[in-house]
């Protein structure tokens, strides 16, 4: 009898197809949005040529469905050669602390191109990820894909969030995002992974625009006050789910470690 080891099983699971309805919506939605992507690409290229030489697209390795690595596309919003170590330090702080996950943009990041904070707050820099959606690396709705060094810091129970295909928007993004902590983000993503449905995806998409507007207002307020956005009251992770009858994710058992 032929046996299958854990590595082979993981490889098969990592390539498991999306539900038919989800993949169909992803392809149709991405193709419909491609003209918009083209307009922003041309505008972005023109602006970058004037403000900062370099490529329009930024490519970065990310961790996706069940730990699979892929190249993620974004519009470049930072100067060429920007120090990535600063972001890694900030990421470590957010994981280890109980502070809201405020981007460095809100406090003034010298690596950013002029006006890039607004592009990032509106999520326009992530439009090229429609290419990733068409390729099957991502979905329109799902947890955000993380970078490898962040993935290495996840505890075993936290990696359940990778049981859902990463997306452009998701439950965490419409539940407070920068007002939530790392732990709250993980619980929200796990809840999505356990409750994937076309109706839940529809509700998340409908809530995305209001969430983006709130994110822009928060970023603008933080930049004006020059105070850490961590002072903004956090929207607790249970609020979104409890109002919709979704069971809160369970915390890890005592003694559970990485």
Percent of the chain with pLDDT over 90: 43
Paired tokens of 122: 């509106």
Looking at residue 179, the DSSP 8-state letter turns out to be G
Would you state the pLDDT for residue 219? Answer: 81
For residue 60, the surrounding DSSP H or E stretch is strand 57-63
Phi then psi for residue 169, to 5 deg, are -130, 165
- Residue 190 backbone class (left: φ over 0; alpha: ψ -120 to 50; beta: rest): alpha
Tens of each residue's pLDDT in the chain, 258 residues: 444 344 444 444 445 567 889 999 999 999 999 888 888 878 877 777 777 778 888 899 999 999 999 999 998 888 877 777 777 888 888 888 878 888 776 666 778 888 778 888 888 889 999 999 999 999 999 999 999 999 999 999 999 999 999 999 999 999 988 889 999 999 999 999 999 999 999 999 999 999 999 988 888 887 777 544 444 343 344 444 444 444 444 544 444 433
- Beta pairing, strands 139-141 & 167-169: parallel
Residue burial 2-13, b: 16+ Cβ < 10 Å; e: rest: eeeeeeeeeeee
Would you state the pLDDT for residue 16? Answer: 56
pTM over 0.85: no
């Amino acid at each position: 009898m032929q046996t299958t080891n854990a590595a082979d099983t993981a490889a098969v699971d990592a390539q498991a197809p999306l539900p038919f309805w989800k993949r169909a919506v992803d392809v149709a939605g991405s193709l419909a949005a491609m003209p918009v992507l083209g307009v922003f690409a041309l505008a972005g290229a023109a602006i970058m040529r004037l403000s900062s030489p370099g490529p329009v697209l930024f490519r970065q390795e990310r961790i996706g469905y069940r730990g699979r690595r892929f190249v993620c596309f974004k519009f470049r919003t930072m100067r060429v050669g920007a120090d990535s170590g600063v972001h890694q330090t900030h990421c470590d702080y957010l994981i280890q602390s109980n502070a809201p996950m405020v981007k460095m943009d809100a406090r003034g990041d010298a690596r950013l191109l002029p006006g890039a904070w607004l592009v990032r707050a509106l999520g326009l820099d992530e439009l090229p990820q429609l290419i990733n959606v068409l390729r099957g690396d991502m979905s329109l709705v799902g947890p955000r894909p993380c970078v490898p060094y962040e993935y290495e810091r996840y505890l075993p129970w936290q990696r359940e969030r990778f049981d859902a295909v990463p997306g452009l928007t998701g439950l965490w993004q419409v539940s407070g995002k920068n007002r939530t902590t790392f732990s709250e983000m993980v619980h929200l993503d796990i809840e999505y992974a356990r409750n994937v449905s076309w109706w839940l995806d529809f509700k998340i998409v409908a809530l995305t625009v209001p969430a983006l507007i709130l994110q822009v207002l928060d970023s603008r307020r933080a930049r004006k006050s020059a105070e850490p956005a961590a002072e903004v009251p956090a929207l607790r992770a249970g609020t979104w789910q409890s109002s919709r009858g979704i069971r809160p994710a369970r915390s890890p058992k005592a003694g559970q470690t990485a």
